Amino acid sequence: MNRFEDFTTRIVQQVGKKEGPISPVMVNSASFGYGDSETGEGIFEGSIKKPLYARVGNPTSAQLEQVLASMDGGIGAVSASTGMGAIAMATLSLLRAGDEIISIGGLFGGTYSYFSETLPRFGISTKFFDVDALIEVENAITSETKVIFLESVGNPNMRLPDIATIAQIANAHGVALIVDNTTTPMSVLPLLLGADIVVYSTTKIITGNASALGGAVVYRPIAEGEDKFKSERYRDIQPFIQKMGAMALIAVAKKRALRDFGMSANGFGSYLTMLGLETLPLRMDRIVTTIESVAGKLSEAGFVVNHPCLADHPHHERYKTQFANGCGTIFTIDLGSKEKAFEFLNRSKLITITANIGDSRTLGLHMASTIYRDFDDATKAFLGITPGLVRISIGLESAYAIIDDFISASKI
């Protein structure tokens, strides 16, 4: 049985309708008529569930939110204009000046500069740790720590976190755990491992074909009895818990982030995202299988490959046990120098050179001259960015075609 079998069945049923239009109905109106003033009052008050204004909710995006929430076992989701929008939403709705973030592993370049350059301007600081520095993480938690942030797979360092153990630490200290699961949707289910919030850039493998920018945040319910979000640490969200109960984190995100910052998804983008989402289990299954044969064969052919399916990777055991459904579409190869990396990419007939990941096509990018070009040497070393490093995102092509192309592109 294919490891994504259950998702294959559920997602196509949830995206398509049995009556009327089968493909999701694409609504792209910015505003919505209320009909009469009493209905308008009811919509604003919340007693009537109809669209208010597209910045705070769109019917097509609402369907996408339901499918994503069900995929991750959350109570609900809020879609966003981009993955960075989703990260901003998930964090800003919990944080205020003076708060601290603990960031573990990773880290995507945009997230790193958001944490290290932008948030400090608003009095929010971040400490960065390796995925295995869990004692240091525990010691760094203070009463001002509101968020522990984690990427499910280090991009591009390919280090794998022990998500369940990190969730135990977050829960023991009453701190929210946010997991950026962009690279491993359906393969890793962070809420089931004890995380509170999952963020996605749906731009990547979820849509899968570079047709739409998008993001989403999936939330767990607030528990009826004890819950860490009911503590003094999260005093700002107590009014939402009193009013909205289990759905409080979604209400906070909509009010604090969507309404006031406006990183809202649009109907057309959400429509395209759902068309991608319905084939995600099939694409994921193929790519996580292809990536193992490509990484293995290239490594045998003498490439310096970084992927945890290889026996010499420090997280090989964790890959086999906690990442049994694969760790997404990316791996890196180190060609030794910038010149060799450029030559390889330019000679390949198959690689599309771009900053994206998670596409139907195999993509590649030299890291130090692009996404990480403005980072100082110490930061590059921390993030694992060496001069010859090329990040590859495997697509739907045949493993044999990819291996042949890479081997011929590397021969001078």
Ligand X SMILES: *Cc1c(COP(=O)(O)O)cnc(C)c1O
Give the footprint of ligand X on this chain (CB under 6 A): 82-84, 108, 110-111, 151, 155, 180, 182-183, 201, 203-204, 213, 215, 357
Shortest Å distance, C-beta 183 to ligand X: 6
Determine what percent of the chain falls in helix, strand and coil, rounding each to the nearest 5: 45, 15, 40
Nearer to ligand X, 146 or 204 (CB): 204
Residue 188's φ and ψ, nearest 5 degrees, are -120, 135
Of the pair 237, 351, the CB lying nearest ligand X is at: 351
Shortest distance (Å) from residue 247 CB to ligand X: 25
CB of 31 to ligand X, least distance (A): 26
Q: How far is the CB of 174 from ligand X (least distance, A)?
A: 26
Residue nearest to ligand X (CB): 83
Determine contact, residues 56/264, Cβ cutoff 8 Å: yes
**Alpha carbon distance 318, 188 (integer Å):** 13
Name the minimum Å distance from CB 229 to ligand X: 24
Which structure tokens are listed for 213? 């920018």
Question: Considering beta carbons, is residue 100 or 180 the nearer one to ligand X?
Answer: 180
Q: Select 197 or 213, whichever has its Cβ closest to ligand X.
A: 213
- Residue with Cβ nearer ligand X (393 or 410): 393
Minimum distance of ligand X from residue 359's CB (angstroms): 12
Q: Which is nearer to ligand X, 151 or 292 (CB)?
A: 151
Beta bridge partners of 2: none
Q: How far apart are CB 49 and ligand X at their closest, in Å? A: 29
Instruction: Provide the 3-class DSSP secondary structure of residue 77.
Output: strand
Residue closer to ligand X, measured from CB, 104 or 409: 104
What phi, psi does 102 have (nearest 5°)? -110, 120
Residues 6+ apart with CB under 8 A from 307: 158, 291, 292, 295, 313, 327, 331, 332
- Report the C-alpha gap between 240 and 164 in whole angstroms: 28
Taking the C-alpha atoms of residue 214 and residue 85, their distance in angstroms, rounded to an integer, is 8
User: CB of residue 158 vs ligand X: minimum separation in angstroms?
Assistant: 13
Task: Return the number of other C-beta atoms located less than 10 Å from residue 198's C-beta.
Answer: 31
Question: Closest approach of Cβ 151 to ligand X, in Å?
Answer: 6
Are residues 243 and 308 in contact, defined by beta-carbon separation less than 8 angstroms? no
- Pick between residue 108 and residue 303 the one whose CB is nearest to ligand X: 108
Residue closest to 381 by CA, chosen among 100, 130, 179:
130
Which residue in 253, 232, 233, 230 sits closest to 242, CA to CA? 230
The Cα 210–Cα 309 span in angstroms is: 27
Q: Which is nearer to ligand X, 112 or 406 (CB)?
A: 112
Q: Do 208 and 232 contact (CB within 8 A), yes or no?
A: no
